Amino acid sequence: MNKINLWFIPFAILAQTTAQASIEAARVNDKVITLDQVTAKIVELERSGASFNGSKKAVTEELIKKEAAIQEAKKMKLDQDPAIIDRINNVLFYAVIEKKLGSDFDKISLSDAEAKNWYEKNPEIRTSHIFVALPQDASSEDEKKATSKLSAIIADIKAGKVSFAEAAQKNSEDPSAAMGGDLDYRMKNRLDPAYYRAALKLSRAGDISGIVRTPFGLHLIRMTGKHSWSEMDRQSVKRVIFEEKRQEIVNNYLNNLRQKAKVTINNSVIKD
């Protein structure tokens, strides 16, 4: 008899859960809001620390309003609007990333020694720059004009006719021009990769690069300082490394999905 009772318990629990899920707490036109949905919303609010009175009635009322608004949106066919669909797809994109890769993100760990080794190769640097905006698809003529402008500026700086800061104030097309082109201290995650790589090649404070191309335009870069590991907040460095490792996991996952997908590309349409 006991064996039968024990065997029956899981089914009793399932029946109880199913019953709660099907209990109608409210109805908005033809859409039912179940007691299970109300309970789940209360748990969500409690976990988030949101301020609410804990009343099932109050939460049910909010769910009713939300459902009424959703139904109105569907009447307006907003769920068929390309812009709305794109936003929904973005939500789905990030949802699958978290669902599939969340456990991999949790496994990322960093010791101080590992962080220090990474930082010595990727230090926080302070630079100034003189910038000329130039789109990626700029004509060869525009590219030549921008290059000539910066070449002339380099010559004036080397000849002592003007300081780098003065040249930046006069010629740079970046908001930092008012500060003599100063971008203050930044980690690699806050600088364009091509800009950061070029800046790292400047070994001493005061060194100036040649003309550097980024997706935004052309730059002259002046190195003004580097923070040593001992000057850094280790947790902030680890956060940058964590995000880099996280992005690597995401990229590997997306590349794998792409390989599995049947993809065709119309190169004549997307030709640069």
| Ordered structural domains, the chain, with CATH | 20-85 (1.10.8), 124-226 (3.10.50.40)
Whether the pLDDT of residue 196 is over 50: the answer is yes
Q: Mean pLDDT score of the chain, rounded to an integer?
A: 91
Beta-sheet strand order (sheet of 208-214) = 182-186, 125-133, 217-226, 208-214
Token pair 């997908």: residue: 261
pLDDT given at position 68: 97
Instruction: Select the more confidently predicted residue: 256 or 2.
Output: 256
pLDDT given at position 4: 45
CB 59 within 8 A of CB 44: no
CB 60 within 8 A of CB 25: yes
Q: Tell me the per-residue pLDDT of 68-114, one tens digit each, with 9 for 90 and over.
A: 999 999 999 999 999 999 999 999 999 999 999 999 999 999 999 99
- This prediction's pTM: 0.73
Mean pLDDT value of segment 224-253: 96
Is residue 167 exposed (0-12), middle (13-18) or buried (19+ Cβ within 10 Å)?
buried
Measured torsion, CA atoms of residues 159, 160, 162, 163, in degrees rounded to the nearest 10: 120
CB 221 within 8 A of CB 154: no
- And the tokens for 164? 């780098």
